């Protein structure tokens, strides 16, 4: 990458945002202007290793050549039709995405939250039309400490007070049970239950991995009780954990899988509900939609993403490099970190609180050229692009060791 002379400094640009941009984020003080692969560059030309990857939206790195090419090709032909007409890219995208996930039908949307909202609607409609739940009585069981997005309905079943407080009145029809607790789930499910919505790994909560058997148990319970298993794989899916979907670690096929983030290749917002035919066929014309959902540019990029995943290369890399990550974190345990959880190229790292908050550690790492983000308290999350090399990963772990050692 060649550096450009900055038009304005980072400090000036951060200052310029302050009065005009809603303060709903607290970004690290780095102003990125270019990126390629696993590296980003700020306006002053400083380079950073990206160990966050856009919360897993950049699983294939920044500007993966195959994805950029697919986008360019499509930009030159057709970008938007709306679903008022057919477009020549959508059928292939839906076919290949369904095949990749082992399911039958696709409902294309744009953001992750929209996929979750859509799944809630589909599950409710399925409960009324297929299961025979009395109208207006359908419930969905969710897990405590979930993160499924930011809409009014989704924050209605969040247990994070910061995410909820001040945004009521809330949407009814949700029951919250502890994560990783099959007995509590069994207790909450009844004849009104449309489905159980969980993250196979809770990302925002700090990369919380359920016990072996939990996902298989949810599958067994939902099948037995006649309700849907809805897996939110928006962060955990598409290669991150070393498998195409995190549920594959327990050889489980849910009734509905929610995808987003990396499905758009870090280029355009693309999300989808992928489901069994009996489930998604409850939707009829006019009952749900999105102007941009399934647009040809999104479908072209999404198809190129699926094509990358069809090779299995990224899943393999995540599994293999995940071992390097684990080894490095094991070596730091007791030496600056008090514990960690990881699956594939994804880790929640609990830093010794005596050494600083997650935010402070993230800022120190940033000054040393590594970008990460804190989740809660002293926990930071590591989720590099799956294109990272073993050398880059060891370099980042070395920087973490230095930053913790210096504290
Ligand atoms: C598991 C999960 N579901 C849903 C979402 C919401 O996605 P979006 O921010 O694209 O609406 C996120 C975002 O972090 C997520 O991690």
Q: Which residues are catalytic?
A: 147, 232, 261
Per-residue tokens: 146:
């979930």
Residue 297 CA, distance from chain mean position: 21
Q: How confident is the model at residue 184, as a pLDDT?
A: 98
Write out pLDDT tens, residues 28-48: 999 999 999 999 999 999 999
Pocket of ligand 1 (CB under 6 A): 55, 111-113, 116, 147-149, 199, 203-204, 232, 234-235, 260
Per-residue tokens: 139:
């419930």
Torsion sign across C-alpha atoms 154, 159, 160, 161: positive
Is the pLDDT score of 326 beyond 80?
yes
Could you tell me the pTM of the whole model? 0.97
Best substitution site from 117, 234, 241 to test ligand 1's pocket, by max atoms within 8 Å of Cβ? Answer: 234
Residue the block writes with tokens 């959902």: 293
- How far is Cα 386 from Cα 344, in angstroms, rounded to an integer? 9
- How far is Cα 389 from Cα 385, in angstroms, rounded to an integer? 9
Work out the mean pLDDT of the chain and round it to a whole number.
97
* Mean pLDDT across 222-232: 98
* Mean pLDDT across 367-396: 96
Please answer whether residues 341 and 309 qualify as being in contact, where contact means their C-beta atoms are separated by less than 8 angstroms. no
Is the pLDDT score of 360 beyond 90?
yes
- How far is Cα 58 from Cα 253, in angstroms, rounded to an integer? 25
**Residue nearest to ligand 1 atom 13, measured at CA:** 149
How many CA atoms lie within 13 Å of 217's alpha carbon, on the beta-carbon side? 14
Burial label for 166, CB within 10 Å (0-12, 13-18, 19+), is exposed
* Mean pLDDT across 287-299: 98
- How far is Cα 326 from Cα 321, in angstroms, rounded to an integer? 9
Q: How confident is the model at residue 376 (pLDDT cuts 50, 70, 90)?
A: confident
- Which of 265, 309, 275 lies closest to 119, judged by CA? 275
- Which of 207, 199, 201 lies closest to 158, judged by CA? 199
Rg of the chain over Cα atoms, rounded to whole angstroms, equals 21
Q: How confident is the model at residue 5, as a pLDDT?
A: 52
322 SS3 class: helix
**Residue nearest to ligand 1 atom 10, measured at CA:** 112
223 SS3 class: helix
**Residue nearest to ligand 1 atom 7, measured at CA:** 112
Q: How confident is the model at residue 107 (pLDDT cuts 50, 70, 90)?
A: very high
Q: How confident is the model at residue 406, as a pLDDT?
A: 80
- Which of 294, 335, 355 lies closest to 80, judged by CA? 294
Q: How confident is the model at residue 2, as a pLDDT?
A: 53
Per-residue tokens: 371:
């970008």
Is the pLDDT score of 155 beyond 80?
yes
How many CA atoms lie within 13 Å of 250's alpha carbon, on the beta-carbon side? 19
- How far is Cα 236 from Cα 249, in angstroms, rounded to an integer? 12
Q: Closest ligand 1 atom, CA of 149?
A: 6
């Amino acid at each position: 990458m060649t550096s450009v002379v900055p038009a304005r400094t980072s400090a000036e640009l951060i200052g310029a945002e302050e009065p005009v941009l809603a303060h709903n984020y607290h970004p690290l003080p780095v102003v990125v202007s270019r990126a390629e692969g696993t590296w980003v560059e700020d306006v002053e030309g400083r380079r950073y290793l990206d160990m966050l990857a856009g919360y897993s939206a950049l699983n294939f790195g920044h500007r993966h050549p195959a994805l950029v090419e697919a986008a360019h090709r499509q930009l030159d032909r057709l970008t938007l039709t709306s679903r008022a007409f057919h477009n020549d890219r959508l059928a292939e995208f839906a076919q290949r995405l369904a095949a990749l996930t082992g399911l039958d039908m696709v409902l294309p949307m744009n953001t992750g939250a929209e996929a979750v909202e859509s799944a809630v609607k589909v599950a409710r409609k399925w409960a009324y039309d297929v299961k025979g739940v009395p109208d207006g009585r359908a419930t969905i069981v969710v897990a405590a400490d979930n993160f499924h997005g930011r809409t009014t309905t989704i924050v209605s079943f969040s247990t994070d007070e910061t995410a909820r407080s001040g945004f009521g009145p809330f949407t009814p029809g949700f029951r919250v049970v502890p994560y990783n607790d099959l007995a509590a789930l069994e207790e909450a499910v009844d004849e009104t239950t449309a489905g159980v919505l969980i993250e196979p790994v809770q990302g925002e909560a700090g990369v919380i991995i359920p016990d072996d058997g939990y996902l298989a148990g949810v599958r067994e319970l939902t099948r037995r009780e006649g309700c849907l298993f809805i897996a939110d794989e928006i962060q955990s899916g598409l290669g991150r954990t070393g498998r195409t979907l995190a549920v594959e670690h327990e050889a489980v096929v849910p009734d509905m899988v929610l995808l987003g983030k990396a499905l758009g290749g870090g280029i355009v917002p693309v999300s989808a509900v992928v489901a069994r035919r009996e489930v998604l066929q409850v939707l009829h014309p006019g009952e749900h939609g999105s102007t941009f959902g399934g647009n040809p540019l999104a479908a072209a990029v999404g198809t190129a993403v699926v094509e990358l995943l069809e090779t299995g290369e990224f899943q393999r890399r995540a599994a293999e490099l995940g071992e390097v990550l684990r080894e490095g974190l094991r070596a730091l345990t007791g030496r600056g970190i008090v514990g960690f959880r990881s699956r594939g190229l994804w880790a929640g790292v609990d830093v010794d609180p005596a050494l600083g908050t997650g935010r402070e550690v993230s800022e120190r790492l940033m000054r040393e050229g590594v970008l990460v983000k804190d989740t809660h308290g002293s926990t930071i999350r590591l989720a590099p692009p799956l294109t990272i090399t073993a050398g880059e990963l060891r370099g980042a772990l070395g920087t973490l060791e230095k930053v913790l050692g210096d504290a």
